[in-house]
Chain A
Amino acid sequence: MLEVKLHDIGEGMTEAVVIHYFVKKGDYVKADQPLVEVQTDKMVAEIPSPAEGTVLDIFVPEGQTIAVGTTLLSLQTEAVGHEQAKEQAAVTVEAEVETESEPVVSEPIGTNESKTKPQRILASPYTRKIAREHGVDLSLVKGTGPAGRITDEDVYRYVQGQQAPQTTQQEQAAQPVAPTVEHEPATVTVTKEETKEETIIPFRGRRKQIAKKMTQSLFTIPHCTHFEEIDVTELIALREELKGHGMNISATAFFIKALSLALKQFPIFNAKLDEENECIRLEKEHHFGIAVDTEDGLIVPVIKNIEKKSLRQIHEEAKALTKKALENQLSLAEMTGGTFTISNVGPLGGSIGATPIINYPEVALVAFHKTKKRPVVMENDEIAVRSMMNLSMSFDHRVADGATAVAFTNYFAKLIENPKLMLMELI
């Protein structure tokens, strides 16, 4: 018998939460097959099986927090005696030093290639890289390309959770036979989970992807956030006036346009840091991601080339993309390629400030909060009732400094507080 323990998965981690078992009691598992998913305060990790065998028992229920060294489950391995002791030593770091075993000699050179050839993955190296970068196991992705080839889009679709997994890992584990091409329908997993008593929210698909992106961003980018208060009274008046002409342009459209104008002055916030080549690349085009809250979680459609678009175009496109996002109909092209992101949480009410996480690898993100009438001391020292809105801007402190960010939001504020100034920027 072999005990699988929570070993030190690095970064000074001492404990972890058991998120999900991929296997159940009695399942047959191959070496390196993922057994259980655990989450630390820093990352989600899969613990692979140290050996081939059958799951004897599971000791820790899902959801429980355990310390490093705790036994998670036990395996009945095929190996006997000495072999077993050896494997056990391999799993437990603290295990005693093993006595020298007989040197085992492999087949002559050239013939010692593994006999069990892995099933061929029908994807080009480029597509495989995309899959790796999204943590996708390609053997679970259905290829829609020529002759069943897995395309870039198939991978992205899988990441978005739009493709039902063909086989869950549990089912795979339950079939020790060579993998066949036919797969069970995905419904099996769903029912399995519904029968459980507590409510379980699967941490997969979009939720997991969001988690991954956020973690990546926060761990890569030293975030710096500052807040600003903006008087939107004039903007509201202008919008009313336009409505009189039968044109209903959203405040978001104005914000986007004004931000784009500000980016022309401060292109550093529309950039990418290329650490490998030790340079910062300023992007010429302004592609704005708009954070949309959907049932499945956050999604960020992108409006391309704001710098070339009119307020009306921006308004229409934002509306159309938001609708598609809510209906889960965005194409891949509509979700990628952003250079800057905004999040308008104002309409949700409530929030007066936030420390938003930058949409990696972009450099900055601006969130707009609730607009509220407030007494404001005007330049002539009189108090007036004005419509005020807060904004929060997070930026990559490796790329830019606070003073530049404040200058940027000041420029933006000036345009919004005097929307007619935007006329000056008409091309």
Chain B
Amino acid sequence: MVVGELAHERDVVIVGGGPGGYHAAIRAAQLGLSVTLVEKEALGGVCLNKGCIPSKVFAHAAQSMTSVQHMNDMGIEWAHVAFHPGKLQQYKTKVIGQLRQGVEALCKANKIEVIKGTASFLAEDRIGVEKGDAFDVYRFRYAVIATGAALVAPAAINVDHKRVLNAYSIYGLEELPNHLIVYGSDYIALEVATSFRAFGADVSIVLESDDFVFDSSINRELQRLLKKMKVKVYKNSRITHVESEQEQVTVSLAVKEQETVSLEGSHLFVSCGLKANVDGLEIDRLGLKRTKEGFIDVNERAQTSLPHIFAVGDVTGGPALAVKAIKQGKVAAETMAGKQSEADTTFLPTIVHSIPPIASVGLTEEEAKEQYKDVRIGQFPLTGNGYASIIGQKDGFIKVISDADSEMVLGIHMMGAGAVELISSGVIGLEMVGREEDWKFPLYPHPSINEGLLEAVEALRAEAIHLPPTKQKGAVSS
């Protein structure tokens, strides 16, 4: 290894080119700073290469599969419908390639120096980059740590990426599992379960807890729909042992920590915990403060305990979502440029590209009742929405929760067609401290799923038009 004598001087050095890192880089460049971005693998990080994008390619393909029957109903017929997992892989690779080129082009257009290499801190103002045999030293005014987090499987499970898969390897499958066992209750597990079910695999879900992690109404509807899809759900069950063989996996479940049940499948998918990617970064020599779980501790400006060093995205803990990484990345850059900026995840939308999709923001009914004296609930099923009938996707509902005292809306939860796009109307309204009338006054495009949101807000006072009075009374909770 050759140690460079001279340090290159930069305003900003960013470690990691995932969503957090590249958003920080581009915003910093926009604000006139000279930026170097160090990435050891591929620009786009987990999100583009192994996470959000691959999973959504699968979810989209699966959604398309389910619409085949509906197309038939409308007179669009095929002689033969088949699914080729290998071809979907090619499509996935193409989409990822295009998007990555887009990010690379944007970095170039913003005059960001992108270095392929592995970075580690040498001092509070110095970073070393190892690329092959060369070792370069950069001196920075500001640094951003955007190295993400690694998946850590439960101790009892050995992920071999063949029969036992994690969130990265599941979307690399070139074959369709016969029977996929999904272990986990988070959004990734649900996307995996519903996507592979739509492609035709048998799917069972194993939950450690007694339910999914959403608002109770969504959990209930989800169970009904999973049952309809013939997906079996094992609750209160913990995997204690996995036997991976040539053609199958055998899983031992401890149900309620008492009886043991054995489950056979062709593949097992495991939801994982996360561990900050800080090994080899040498941040401990800077004394950067960490959370109990080992993530880098940051404030609302994404500053670490050394204010000129920022950390963004999964490496900072909290919700492990690209949404958060993106926001923190921009906030970090703006803070360096002297702007007053802030990342606040109070109204972070949670979305699941499941079939049907789920989206929610703000308090759940249970949380709202804990924090407010008198809570109103308005719920509107998509069966009452005209557009849902047109597109043949009538499963799901929209639920709105408000504080009866102030009429302030506290949370919005949706399941069904259009949920992921529509949730933004909820996010903006909540950020604006909107009250019931703030949603009822505007005009909603007709016919569209949007109207479902309006009717859910109207249902808070039993005023939804497309819902019989009895149903609305039932929805008002004390």
Counting CB contacts under 8 A, is B341 at the interface? yes
Which of A107-115, A240-248, A304-312, A408-416 is near enough to bind chain B? A107-115
List residues of chain A with CB within 8 A of the CB of B292.
Answer: 83, 104
Give the docked Cα–Cα distance between A166 and B317 (Å): 33
Evaluate contact between B305 and A132: CB separation under 8 angstroms.
no
Also in contact, A32 and B299, with CB within 8 A (given A103-B294, A104-B292, A124-B433): yes
| A131 CB to nearest chain B CB (Å) | 9
22 A/B residue pairs, CB under 8 Å, sorted by A:
A50-B289, A89-B284, A91-B287, A93-B306, A97-B284, A103-B275, A104-B292, A106-B273, A106-B295, A108-B273, A109-B187, A109-B272, A109-B273, A110-B213, A112-B273, A112-B320, A117-B367, A121-B344, A123-B433, A124-B431, A133-B340, A147-B435
| B123 CB to nearest chain A CB (Å) | 10
List residues of chain B with CB within 8 A of the CB of A25.
Answer: none
Closest to A79 in B: B292
Evaluate contact between A132 and B186: CB separation under 8 angstroms.
no
Give the docked Cα–Cα distance between A60 and B229 (Å): 68
Evaluate contact between A111 and B186: CB separation under 8 angstroms.
yes
Evaluate contact between B433 and A122: CB separation under 8 angstroms.
yes
Counting CB contacts under 8 A, is A128 at the interface? yes
Give the docked Cα–Cα distance between A410 and B138 (Å): 52
Give the docked Cα–Cα distance between A90 and B431 (Å): 34
| A260 CB to nearest chain B CB (Å) | 32
Also in contact, A104 and B433, with CB within 8 A (given A109-B188, A111-B185, A132-B342): no
Evaluate contact between A106 and B274: CB separation under 8 angstroms.
yes
Give the docked Cα–Cα distance between A103 and B293 (Å): 8
B307-333 residues at the A interface, CB under 8 angstroms: 307-308, 317-320
| A53 CB to nearest chain B CB (Å) | 14
| A140 CB to nearest chain B CB (Å) | 16
Interface bits B271-308 vs A (CB < 8 Å: 1, else 0): 11111000000001111111011110101000001111
Interface bits A123-150 vs B (CB < 8 Å: 1, else 0): 1110011001100000000000011110
Counting CB contacts under 8 A, is A423 at the interface? no
Closest to B184 in A: A108
Counting CB contacts under 8 A, is A196 at the interface? no
Give the docked Cα–Cα distance between A284 and B332 (Å): 36
Also in contact, A112 and B431, with CB within 8 A (given A10-B307, A105-B293, A132-B342): no
Counting CB contacts under 8 A, is A9 at the interface? yes
Give the docked Cα–Cα distance between A9 and B124 (Å): 13
Interface bits B376-387 vs A (CB < 8 Å: 1, else 0): 000000000000
List residues of chain A with CB within 8 A of the CB of B38.
Answer: none
List residues of chain B with CB within 8 A of the CB of A123.
Answer: 433
Also in contact, A148 and B305, with CB within 8 A (given A108-B186, A132-B341): no
List residues of chain B with CB within 8 A of the CB of A146.
Answer: 435
Give the docked Cα–Cα distance between A129 and B339 (Å): 10
Counting CB contacts under 8 A, is A14 at the interface? no
Interface residues on A, range: 35 or more
Interface residues on B, range: 35 or more
A residues near B (Cβ < 8 Å) are: 9-10, 32, 48, 50, 83, 86-87, 89-93, 95, 97-98, 101, 103-114, 117-118, 120-125, 128-129, 132-133, 146-149, 276
Evaluate contact between B319 and A104: CB separation under 8 angstroms.
no
Also in contact, A105 and B431, with CB within 8 A (given A87-B289, A93-B286, A110-B186): no
Evaluate contact between B406 and A148: CB separation under 8 angstroms.
yes
Evaluate contact between B274 and A109: CB separation under 8 angstroms.
yes
Give chain A's interface secondary structure class. Answer: loop
| A156 CB to nearest chain B CB (Å) | 15
Select one of B271, B289, B297, B306 contacting A108, CB under 8 A: B271
List residues of chain B with CB within 8 A of the CB of A93.
Answer: 124, 286-287, 306
Counting CB contacts under 8 A, is B407 at the interface? yes
Evaluate contact between A109 and B318: CB separation under 8 angstroms.
no
| A134 CB to nearest chain B CB (Å) | 9
List residues of chain B with CB within 8 A of the CB of A107.
Answer: 273
Select one of A89, A108, A124 contacting B272, CB under 8 A: A108
Give the docked Cα–Cα distance between A78 and B322 (Å): 33
Closest to A103 in B: B275
Evaluate contact between B271 and A109: CB separation under 8 angstroms.
yes
Give the docked Cα–Cα distance between A86 and B294 (Å): 11
Also in contact, A10 and B308, with CB within 8 A (given A122-B433, A147-B406): yes
Closest to B150 in A: A103
Closest to B273 in A: A105
| B155 CB to nearest chain A CB (Å) | 9
Interface bits B397-414 vs A (CB < 8 Å: 1, else 0): 000000000111000000
List residues of chain A with CB within 8 A of the CB of B287.
Answer: 89-93, 95
9 further A-B contacts with Cβ under 8 Å, apart from A106-B274, A132-B341, A149-B433, are: A83-B292, A92-B287, A93-B124, A98-B284, A108-B271, A109-B271, A110-B187, A110-B320, A117-B346
List residues of chain A with CB within 8 A of the CB of B184.
Answer: 108
List residues of chain A with CB within 8 A of the CB of B319.
Answer: 110, 112-113
Give the docked Cα–Cα distance between A104 and B243 (Å): 26
List residues of chain A with CB within 8 A of the CB of B285.
Answer: 97
Give the docked Cα–Cα distance between A125 and B213 (Å): 28
Also in contact, A114 and B318, with CB within 8 A (given A10-B308, A147-B406): yes
List residues of chain B with CB within 8 A of the CB of A128.
Answer: 342
Give the docked Cα–Cα distance between A124 and B286 (Å): 37
| B40 CB to nearest chain A CB (Å) | 19
List residues of chain B with CB within 8 A of the CB of A90.
Answer: 287-290, 297, 305
List residues of chain B with CB within 8 A of the CB of A120.
Answer: 346
Give the docked Cα–Cα distance between A161 and B152 (Å): 51
Closest to B209 in A: A111
List residues of chain A with CB within 8 A of the CB of B31.
Answer: 276
Evaluate contact between B273 and A129: CB separation under 8 angstroms.
no
List residues of chain A with CB within 8 A of the CB of B320.
Answer: 109-110, 112
Give the docked Cα–Cα distance between A148 and B406 (Å): 9
Evaluate contact between A9 and B346: CB separation under 8 angstroms.
no
| B245 CB to nearest chain A CB (Å) | 26
| A135 CB to nearest chain B CB (Å) | 8
List residues of chain A with CB within 8 A of the CB of B167.
Answer: 109
List residues of chain B with CB within 8 A of the CB of A148.
Answer: 406
Give the docked Cα–Cα distance between A90 and B284 (Å): 8
Evaluate contact between A147 and B433: CB separation under 8 angstroms.
yes
Those 9 A-B pairs whose CB atoms lie nearest each other, nearest first: A110-B186, A90-B289, A132-B340, A147-B406, A105-B273, A105-B152, A106-B293, A104-B294, A108-B271
Give the docked Cα–Cα distance between A124 and B347 (Å): 12
Give the docked Cα–Cα distance between A103 and B287 (Å): 17
List residues of chain A with CB within 8 A of the CB of B74.
Answer: none
Also in contact, A111 and B290, with CB within 8 A (given A89-B284, A118-B346): no
Give the docked Cα–Cα distance between A105 and B317 (Å): 11
| B370 CB to nearest chain A CB (Å) | 10
Closest to B288 in A: A90
Closest to A122 in B: B433
Select one of B213, B274, B367, B432 contacting A124, CB under 8 A: B432
Give the docked Cα–Cα distance between A110 and B207 (Å): 14
Closest to A83 in B: B292
Evaluate contact between A112 and B317: CB separation under 8 angstroms.
yes
| B303 CB to nearest chain A CB (Å) | 10
| B271 CB to nearest chain A CB (Å) | 5
Give the docked Cα–Cα distance between A108 and B152 (Å): 9
Closest to A45 in B: B307
Evaluate contact between A106 and B317: CB separation under 8 angstroms.
yes
List residues of chain B with CB within 8 A of the CB of A125.
Answer: 431-432
